[in-house]
Amino acid sequence: MSPTRPEDLNSIFARACNSQDIATLLSLYEPDAKLVTRSGEVLVGHEAIEASLRRLVGLGGTVASKTVFCLVQGDIALMNSDWSLTDGRSQDGSPINISGRSSEVWCRQTDGSWKLRLDHPFACTR
């Protein structure tokens, strides 16, 4: 699924998380994209990002994401999103409920679709 409108990106991401669709999640990232983890580690490229996405969907629960703003200039979109994971479970079975406000940079591809270049899920989280 290739999003062609920036406004659709967060709902596509949440749906893919909730259906544990790693292929769709990974397809939303450019091959050399960067993802910042909760600890501040910067992951680069599909292989590292895929491992992180597998950990995320492995928590189960329900992901929700709502765009706070989307500012588009040419082929670049700066987005800020409120997101949450509710009713997840850690490896030991304890409940996980987390939320945050992300900062994301999406880039329009030559086919008109949009892909994540920079993803910082905890950028605006205190």
Digit-coded pLDDT (tens) for 35-80 = 999 999 999 999 999 999 999 999 999 999 999 999 999 999 999 9
**Which H helix or E strand runs over 67?**
strand 62-73
pTM over 0.75: yes
**b or e along 30-69 (b: 16 or more beta carbons within 10 Å of the residue's beta carbon)?**
beebbbbeeeeeebeebebbbebbeebbebebebbbebee
**Which H helix or E strand runs over 56?**
helix 46-58
Residue 6, pLDDT above cutoff 90: no
Residue ranges and CATH numbers for the domains of the chain are 6-120 (3.10.450.50)
| Average pLDDT of the chain to the nearest whole number | 93
Q: What is the pLDDT of residue 2?
A: 62
Q: What is the pLDDT of residue 44?
A: 98
